A and B are shown apart, each in its own frame.
Chain A
Amino acid sequence: MSEDIASPKTSSSKAKKQKPSALEVAGPEILAEIISLPELEHDSHRSVTLPPPRSPFAVDKSDVHLKRRRQKDKVATVLVCASFALAMVPLLSLMITVISRGINRFDVTFFTNSMRNVVGEGGGALHALVGTLEITGLAAVISVPIGLMTAIYLVEYGRGRLAKAVTFFVDVMTGIPSIVAGLFAYSLFLLVFGPGSQNGVAGAVALSVLMIPVVVRSCEEMLRLVPNELREASLALGVPRWRTITKVVLPTSIAGITTGVMLAIARVIGETAPLLVTVGLTQSMNYSLTDGPMMTLPVFVYNSYMSQGVDAAAYVDRAWTGALTLILIVMALNLVARLIAAKFAPKGNR
């Protein structure tokens, strides 16, 4: 047995002795071959100097394809910047014209007089200013509660088909042309109160039809921004749903809602067509929303320009001053809305 064991041992040791020698012979050659393979050659082993590596960002002057791509990119950049500049042209032109021409009659008389018994120069737009403020105010009083409650319904309660229908028809309402809203209010008052019922309330109804969808949209967006954790925390404390909404959800989003409402007012305050149809126009003061035609600022601008009397320049001047006043009001509303939004923007630790 020992021989049996011993003999393989000796044979294996023999083989061991032989094999390493074979490897020792072949090893350096293989190693040399591996090192000399060009793919694995390291920089330090280089014997021939290759050209320096090409930067991927380097421009090959002869690469026509790349050249064309760069040219295309440049053309696109120029076009994009030019289109922005192009949009600024009408804005600048409009602002400069409105200010330079509106300033002529931007005086005390304009804001303290109506157009009653005025032919030619003089006169003002006090009646139009009063009418615009009253009618827009009433429109806001009508549409803000309806719009806000609808938004609350859609965000807090809305499930199922009714909510879907409301969302859909609010979208449809957004697309109603302003003149159609005016015709609707006109038909409504004609059918209910009989012919000749052009008054401020009809105008406010027409403006509400235009304003409600805007209020719903912006309020909805703001209410959805309120984190669900707040609602859940309040409900978990046993606060009933409506208290949660009025005491937690609404206060959290009040800044955004105010901004949205002011922007909605700014949008309808410049509406002309529905007021022309529903409220008509007058040259005298009329403080009453229910009693006969009223003047409004946009209609004043339109009427001053379209039916110029003798001394046409005076009428055109008044139109431009009316336009300037209107733009100032709209800009002020926009500015205040943005300030509110910026000041009360949701803070991190709220």
Chain B
Amino acid sequence: MSTIAQRPTSGSPTPGDVATTKKKPKRNNRFADMSFKGLAVGAGVLILVVLGFVTVFLLAEAWPAFVAGDQVGVNEPQTIWQYVAPFAFGTVWVAAIALLLATPVALGIALFISHYAPKKIAAPLGYLVDLLAAVPSVVFGLWGIQVLAPFLQPIYVWLTTYLGWIPLFAGPASGTGRTVLTVALVLAVMILPIMTAVCREVFLQTPKLQEEAALALGATRWEMIRMAVLPGATSGIISAMMLGLGRALGETMAVAMVLSPAALISFALVTTQNPNTIAANIALNFPEAFGLRINTLIATGLVLFAITLVVNMGARWVISRRAAFSGANA
């Protein structure tokens, strides 16, 4: 590219061919301009093509499982839908609990950084939370199974003994602590940074004048937050939750390592039989899979893709609605 660029300037014109040198750089520039634009457009189109390929190839490889009837099951005859149902349930269930645990904490952290911490240390504290995002998921998995699960196991025993009448805490308690609740806790920690980051940005966008007006009218800091900060941040909080949910749905390794898996639909949180997630099921079974098993696993991956797509579309819809109604973003 640089040679094309140099030509107009390096070709020192003798008086005779002024006309040609005047014409030449223009044509060269136009050609370079067009090809550069072509490259840029091509890159954009390539992304669309890749995404199309993702769908097409996944569909192509998953197709045999969809038409295999009840040959899909491993130990018993099952169709693909019967096979994937418990895993789909587990995926949504685990992610939902993780979201439930993470949301209040993420809101608190975001408020702490945006409105409570002294201005000088707010940014470093934000970095500390971001550090959590830098930890690879496999390390979270290792920590979850070696540190968190043994720590929580006695608590689970207590829960099943004294609160066992609540279906969520039905016994028998897991002997290893590798339960849905442990996994949800690990996932909650993993989605905290992204949720905090989004909420923080939204809270910081609150008009300063409104905050000061609320304080000047005698509102306490909490009342100021409730009246001036939170109302404008609702859709931002929702989109943060959706983003967190999307992350939690697709998380693989932490679940694969921590959960003691089974294929069933159960709401019990701390027992030995836990519904596995789609992603973890793929990771656990893929290395040994062959033939139709591979097609089946890819088909479940497609289902996971569909679930996350719906969640992300929801998030985008909420964000776009906010953009439409907020004058600040216009």
Contact = CB atoms under 8 A, between A and B. Distances in A.
Contacts of A87: 105, 109, 129, 132, 189, 192, 196
Contacts of B41: 153, 157, 162
Contact of A323 (B40, B142, B223): B142
A83 B312 CA distance: 27
A94 B298 contact: no
B249 A276 contact: no
Contacts of A216: 47
For the complex of A and B, list the 7 residue pairs with the smallest distance between their C-beta atoms, beginning with the closest: A270-B136, A177-B250, A83-B108, A149-B43, A242-B36, A153-B40, A175-B312
B108 A84 contact: yes
Given A281-B287, A319-B142, A326-B136, 13 more contacts: A72-B220, A84-B125, A101-B146, A150-B47, A157-B40, A158-B44, A168-B316, A191-B61, A241-B36, A272-B252, A273-B256, A273-B279, A302-B256
B238 interface: no
B interface secondary structure, majority: helix
A116 interface: no
Contacts of A76: 221-222, 225
A149 B135 CA distance: 29
B97 to A, nearest CB: 16
Interface string A178-210: 111101101110110000000000000000010
Contacts of B171: none
Interface stretch (B65-73, B81-89, B262-270, B300-308): B300-308
Interface of A: 56, 69-70, 72-73, 76-77, 79-84, 86-88, 90-91, 93-94, 97-98, 101, 145-150, 152-154, 156-158, 162-163, 165-166, 168-181, 183-184, 186-188, 190-191, 209, 212, 216, 240-243, 245-246, 266, 269-273, 276-277, 280-281, 298, 301-302, 305-306, 316, 319-320, 323, 326-327, 330-331, 334
B54 interface: yes
A interface secondary structure, majority: helix
Given A72-B222, A191-B61, A83 B109 contact: yes
A330 B135 contact: yes
B283 interface: yes
Interface residues on B, range: 35 or more
Nearest to B36: A242
A163 B43 CA distance: 11
Contact of A175 (B105, B252, B308): B308
Nearest to B295: A187
29 contacts: A77-B116, A83-B112, A87-B109, A87-B129, A93-B147, A98-B143, A148-B43, A150-B43, A150-B44, A153-B41, A172-B312, A175-B311, A177-B252, A178-B250, A179-B301, A180-B302, A184-B58, A270-B139, A271-B137, A272-B136, A272-B283, A276-B287, A277-B283, A298-B138, A302-B141, A319-B142, A323-B139, A327-B134, A330-B134
B109 A162 contact: no
A302 B138 contact: yes
Nearest to B224: A73
Contacts of B53: 184, 188
A328 to B, nearest CB: 11
A188 B52 CA distance: 12
Interface in B137-179: 137-143, 145-148
Given A73-B223, A77-B222, A94 B134 contact: no
B210 interface: no
B227 interface: no
Contacts of A302: 138, 141, 253, 256-257
A280 B43 contact: no
Contacts of A334: 134
